[in-house]
Structures are given as structure tokens and as C-alpha cells.
Amino acid sequence: MTGLLVPWYFYINYITDTIVQDKWDVPSVAYARPLELYQGLALSPEALVFELDLLGYRATNKKPQSGQYQFANNSFIIHSKGFQFPDLNSPAQIISLSIKNNQLASVSPPLARLEPHIIGRFYTSDFENRLPIDLAAIPDTMIRGLQAVEDRDFKNHHGVSWFGILRAAVKNLLAGEVVQGGSTITQQLVKNKLSYNQNSLLRKAHEAMAASILETKMSKAEILESYFNEVYWGQEGKAAVHGVVEAAQFYFAKPVSQLSIAEQALLIGIIKGPSWYNPYRQTKRALLRRDVVLKVWLDTGVIDTEQYQISKQSALGLSKSRQLKTDFDDFMDVVRKQINSQFSLSDLRRDGLRIFTTMDPYVQFKTTQTARQTRAWLDDTVESAILVSGTNTGELVAVSGSQSAASQYNRALLAKRQIGSLIKPLVYLAGLELLPNFDLQTQLQDAPLTVTTQDQKTWQPKNWDGKSMGAISAMDALIYSRNQATVELGMRITLTKFIGFLQQVGLQVQRNRHPALFLGAMELTPFEVQHVFGLFSSRGGKQYVNSIRYVTDQNNQVLSRSQQSTNHQISVESIDAINRAMHLITTAGTARKLTTNFQLSGPLFGKTGTTNAGKDSWYVGFDRRYLATVWVGRDDNKATPYSGSSGALVLWGHLFKNL
Amino acid sequence: MQRQNKKNLLKTYAVLLLAALLLSNCSNRKAIDVEDSIRDPSAENDSLIQVNPMIPEAVRMLLLEADESISQGQGSQAIMTLKRALSISPNSALVQQHLAEAYLTEADYQEALYWSSLVVNQGPDQGELCERSRRTQALAAELMGRIDIQATALESLISCSTRKPARF
């Protein structure tokens, strides 16, 4: 028994420590990539002016001072501000440069860099996207009102209210089910950290123990402050609303300090069950709950009679739209995810970290603009997600998770969708790697075939045009995205070996899958797709899409990160062969629109993907600078009129036309 | 019986000693002198005409800066400088090779193996860079106990200076 109690105690102690250390005194700052200026850099005057404006530089006609620039006849004189980079201190300096044909023709000094733009801040060590608020900034009625409703004995207990538990136990016993929790504010705060789904005795014991320990580590005021910053206040789509700052924005589009008594009461009221009392969906129920809270406040002296009468008469006054995202928010989601997986927890708990990301603000701006046009170029029911990274480096430069700035759901990172024909380059790559005597000139049969599945059913794949081309080369089968020929090749490889191959390139696929896997019957997020195609764009060099270059502490010391080994062991020759086919797809195949309609120059490589009834429209492609994945579809997974080439490819074409 | 016990004891000591040696080899991550082991000036190279890779002037400056850092024993500084060079010329085999060597000096064999393998797979198959990448790959692989990769790298070293038959 002791053997279990000791680790249990340490676990609980650890949980309480994370709550105590959760807030930093000095927030961590995330930076975009610094713009390197050197001869030969592809850069338009428009892009440079965008960057300078973003960094707060001012145009001048006189000799520029620090933070100013002069621009005339495609020549710039910039007086930089200086910056302490992780590798060296760049002092403020004069940079003279000229641009010809969207390329830096001359730069003096020959290598200079501008300071990076701040794209976000993290205020808590769990890197959640929350702006914390001090207790002093929260209205007094709300602070006292929370205690009146949730935990009247808060000032006196030591984390657990035995009287509260007894009262709840009696009520639950009489009701024959759990109708009242009896948790204190401290216990509720702990509950946010412990992820349990049901009301079990073990969870209650955990909470009680942790709450008691927490009360020895934090003052009552600190506990209240953490509570207001942590507590779960509802859901917008798949994005959770945490903390009073976000809740005030979500429900009322207001800062906390400007909430009326009635609005405060509604927020306090819905803590009990944000879904049950969801004011958008259950208006009457939410109104009743608010009035109950107002009555409690009146009875406990939080508000006076006049305030009660005015508040009770007021409507809910909910906001119609949530705060809009900035251009950088979707990228910051990736940074948040990767920083936790690549760096040690103890390092990340330090104050004032500086996170140097790979984001290119200009490409991000163009990507966001492209996403916002989704419904102008396509119909008004579809959503989109776009990711852009360096062709060779695997460095993520831009992300858009929606066509709308109002949507908080980052589809680029979270939406798992069927990938359709995007799988085909991997099927042919597997063929090159696993089958002896197979190359892209090998003849395949694009003809009707019947496959017996594991559950002894028969499956007859068809081509998108309902026709069969007969004997064709593997190259043509890939260029023209022929399903029957691809399945024929897949059956030669075998499903088991193909699944093993997908794991080799970093995709986790369940075993016992259907042969429809050869046609892309698997779900990936756009981010995972970007990762897979990075294998092709970097010719096998980079297997991971990465958003962070360095993280330094306050002393400018670089934190060490976990290794990301590349173990795919796929030959460059095989990858090059697939890339040749993907190039022909952009000139003669399903993505030829890029060269015929959009008239994009330079060698392009890519693959379209469409799933049944246009539920998902994909295009992934790269040129010598950027690799981009575009997904278009509906959130409810219903049909759209778009294929890969009539949907996602349109956004991709516009984006690359403007980069 | 006593003699048998003595024999067994000796055997145990021998096994323990061997294990200790092996373990000490694993944990003793030594820094490598790149000039001596990789860029060996005495190495003869009678391959095709030596060509200086086309890289921007800015990258050339950063390579010199990184070399300077390495010579001063500041490997991590050199790595950051080289990463900066790589952000300018992500395809440059020369930068990638410098990076592999910098990691080798920092005793980060896994990264050294990764970057040198990239040059081996995608870089030139003739000349000095070809040789340097294979030497780096072999050394990093050896220090990681990947004898198979080491053997392949050493076998392919000779091909860097083998004249290929004329194509006409």
C-alpha cells in the first residue's frame, strides 16, 4: 500500500507545482524569422515595404534615423534598430540596397538582417493561448459573486470543505444519483489539471488531496486568480474557451472590466455547466440560471436591490461574433504544439523565453489573403486550410486554418480528412523501393479488377471518369491518376508491405485495412500531408515540418531540443523518379491548369486529390522555394462540386501567383 | 573444484572488464578535430577539375565565420552561423558538409551523420566535398556503432577520386 501511496503523493505534489508555476512574471515572446538581406535574394519592393511597415519602420525623405527608411527608384536606405540574436548581437546600422526584377541587385553591407517581428506572446508555461488577468482587474462583484455561488466557505477551508461534501453526499443519497458536487474552488482548479471524464471516488480523492496541498503553496488570492484564468467556460466549435478574459470576449466581445452585473452573473452561472447552460443554444435555461445567480448575490449582499432589479430586467446581450484572429494565430498553434514536444518541461518553465520561429510574415500575409478569398473563388459553403513551408528546409513559413478570421478551429492542424489520390505518389514510391524490376516505365493494367478483402467481400475499384485506359506505363498511371492501375500495382506490393512502408515514412496506419488504402482511404490532417510531401520536395532530406529554429532563455542561452532523426532510408533515385512524374502532372496531368491557366513559371511539382463526391479537394505542390498543401471541403463532410483541380488547386495557383 | 571456481571468477572479471570498456566507449563522447580527421590536407585528390561550388558571397562570409568559431572551440556558435547560411542556401552541399563537421566537433554524432548523409546522397559524387562527406559519415557512424554505414561510406570513398569514363 505504501508503495502506491508514495508515487501517488509525488504525482499530486507535481500537479500542484504545475498549477503554482503556471504563470510567468515575464512572458515568453515568439518571433518571426528575421529577414536576411543579401545579393541575389528574391524580394519585391512590395514585400520589403510590407516587412518594414510590420516592424514599425517609418518612411522618410531625409537621412533615415534608427527605425526609418528611405525608398526611391527601387533603392532603399534602411537604418535598422539592432537586435540581440542568439548567435550574435546585431547593432543598429545603415543598410543600402537596390532591387531589380524582384531580386536584390546590391546590398551594403553584403549580409545584413532586420530584427524579427514579434508574432505572439505566451503568458503561461503550458503555452496556452491565454491572456491572464490579475485579480485586481476583475470586478469585485465577480470575485465575491463566484464565492457566493460556488464556494461560500472559501475563505475558511483548507482546500476541502467537509461540510460541503457532507451536504452533497446527503443530497446525492436522497436523489439516488450524483446531483451535487460539493467541490471547493480549489478542488475545481485542480480538476482542470487532472483529466478525468467521470465522477469517480478516485478522482474525488485526487482532487481533495491536491487541493489540500495546493492551499499550502498558494494564497487564497492566488488561487482565485488562477481559477479565473483557468476555468473552462464553453466551446466554440472544436476550440475550448478558457479563462475569464476569453469568456468575456467570446460571449460579450468586451474586456472583463466592462462587464455589467448581469453579464458577470451569466458568466459565473454557466461555470456549473457550460454546455448545459450554453446561452447561445439554451437561452431560457441560461437566463434562468443567471437570475438564480443574481438572487444569490442579492441574498448574500454582493449586490443591492437596485442593482438586482436592473440586472434582472436586462437581456442576455450576447455578442454575435467572437474576436477575430490575427494573421499569426494559426501559426502560433503549430508553435505551441511543437514547443511542448521538442523541449523539456523544466526548460520551458523558465521565465522570459525567446522563441525564434520560421514564419515568413509576408508569405503568411499572402496565404491569409488567399484563404480569405476561398468563398469568392469557390462557393460559400466550403472551408479551406493552407500550409506553406520551405521546399528543402522543411521550415514552416505560413499557416491558415480557415477561410474566415472568425473561426478559431485550425483545420490545418486538426481536421483529419480522407486524402484520396494524394496517396498515389507513395504507392508508386513503395513500388520502386519494394518491387524488383519495377520502374515507372513498367506496364500496368488500367482495367476492371475484383479484389477480395479480408472480410471475404469483393471490391471493384473504378476510375474517376468511369473509363479504363488498358495497358499503360506506371508513369502515365500516376500522371493521369488512374485508380485501377494503381490498385493493380498495390496488390503486387501487398497491403501489409505498403502499410509497413507508410510507417517507414512516418505515417501511423492501422493494420487490417481495406485495399482502398491504395486509393487514399485514410485520414490525415493537412499538416501531416505537408510532412509527407516534404519527403518529395526535399528529395528525402527533411522528414519533419518544423516551426521553431531556436528557443533561448533570458540569458540568450539556446535550449537543447529533442532529436528528430530521419530514418526513412528511401533512395534519392526513387524520390527523383516520382518527382519527375509529379512535374508532368503540372504540365500534362491533373494539375496542368497551373501552367496553362495560371501560367506559373519554373518547374512545378504536385499532386491533386479528391475524395468521393468532392468531400475533400486537395492539392499539394512545390516549386524551388515553397511547398504548399491546400485542402478545401465542408466541415460537415458533405459533398462539394469540387475536385482537387477545380477546388484546392485554384487557391494554390492564386497563392503562388502572388508570392 | 577450487580451480574451477577461480576460472569462473576470472571469466566473470573478463566479461565485466569488456562490458566496462564497451560502456566507457559509449559514454565517452569525444570531440573530433575536423581539420585532422576530415579535411586532411595530405589527402591526395586526383579527381576531375576541382570546382568551387556556386554560393552567394553572404554564405561564403558565414562559412568563414563558422570556421573561425570552430577553431576557437565554439562549436555551438558555429552551428548557429551555419544554420543561418543554410537559411540563405538550403541546397548548398558545402554548407551542409560544414554543418556535419561542426556537429562532429560538438560530439553530436547523430546530427553529423544526418547532415553528412544528406551530402553523400544529394551532393557531388566527385571531388573534395565528396570525400569529406564520406569521411564524416564514416566517422560519425563508427562513433555511433553503425558499422554497416561506416563500411558503406568507406567503400564509396574511393569513387570520389575515380575518373569516370568519358561519355563521348
Q: Per the CB < 8 Å rule, is A392 touching B76?
A: no
Query: Band of the pLDDT at A344, cuts 50, 70, 90?
Result: confident
Flag if B58 and A392 touch (Cβ within 8 Å).
no
Least confidently predicted of A301-310, A489-498, B7-16? B7-16
Question: What are the cell numbers at A213?
Answer: 496541498
Domains of chain A, earliest start first: 34-115 (3.30.2060.10), 130-313 (1.10.3810.10), 420-521 (3.40.710.10)
- Once rounded to an integer, what is the mean pLDDT over residues A650-659? 95
Confidence of residue A628 (pLDDT cuts 50, 70, 90): very high
Q: How confident is the model at residue B139 (pLDDT cuts 50, 70, 90)?
A: very high
What's the structural domain count of chain B? 2
- In angstroms, the separation between the Cα of residue A79 and the nearest Cα of chain B is 20
| Catalytic member of A150, A207, A215, A230 | A150
Q: Are A491 and A451 in contact (CB under 8 A)?
A: yes
Domain carrying residue B86: 32-161
Neighbours of A388 (CB within 10 A): 29
Q: Domain check: are B43 and B59 in the same one? A: yes
Please state the rounded mean pLDDT for residues A132-153: 91
Does a structural domain hold residue B148? Answer: yes
Q: Are residues B84 and B147 in the same domain?
A: yes
Same domain, yes or no: B24 and B37? no
Q: Which three cell numbers stand for residue A562?
A: 529533442
Cβ within 8 Å, pair B87-A87: no
* b/e burial code for range A460-480 (CB count within 10 A of at least 16 → b): ebebeeeebbeebbbbbbbbb
Task: Calculate Rg over the CA atoms of chain A.
Answer: 29
Predicted local confidence at residue B46, as pLDDT = 44
Residues B44, B4: one domain?
A: no
* Closest CB to B110 among A33, A540, A563: A563
Which CATH number does the domain housing residue B123 bear? 1.25.40.10
Q: Does any domain span residue B111? A: yes
The answer to whether residue B67 is domain-embedded is yes
pLDDT recorded at residue A426 = 97
SS (H, E, C) B99-164: HHHHHHHCCCHHHHHHHHHHHHHHCCCCCHHHHHHHHHHHHHHHHCCCHHHHHHHHHHHHHHHCCC
d(CA A10, CA A315): 49
Residues B101 and B88 in one domain: yes
Residue A253: the pLDDT is 79
Residues B25 and B41 grouped into a single domain:
no
pLDDT for the residue numbered A263: 95
Domain match, B68 and B87 both: yes
Are B3 and B37 in a shared domain? Answer: no
Say yes or no: B22 and B60 in one domain.
no
Asked if residue B168 belongs to a domain, the reply is no
CB atoms A393 and B86 under 8 Å: yes
Check whether residue B93 and residue B18 sit in a common domain. no
Is B102 part of any domain?
yes
Separation CA A295–CA A273 (nearest Å): 18
Cβ contacts of residue A537 below 8 Å, gap of 6+? Answer: A391, A392, A605, A622, A627
| Mean pLDDT value across residues A17-40 | 83
Give the list of residues 6+ apart from residue A7 with CB closer than 8 angstroms, or none: none
Q: For residues A348 and A395, what is the distance between their CA atoms, to the nearest angstrom? A: 22
Which pLDDT score, from 0 to 100, does residue B48 have? Answer: 43
The per-residue pLDDT for A153 is 85
8 A C-beta contact, residue A487 and residue A518: yes
Residues B1 and B37 in one domain: no
Return the half-sphere exposure (C-beta side, CA atoms, 13 A cut-off) of residue A448.
4
B166, part of any domain: no
ipTM of the complex: 0.73
Same domain, B133 and B149: yes
Question: B42 vs chain A: nearest CA distance in angstroms?
Answer: 31
Residue of A nearest to B78 (CA): A87
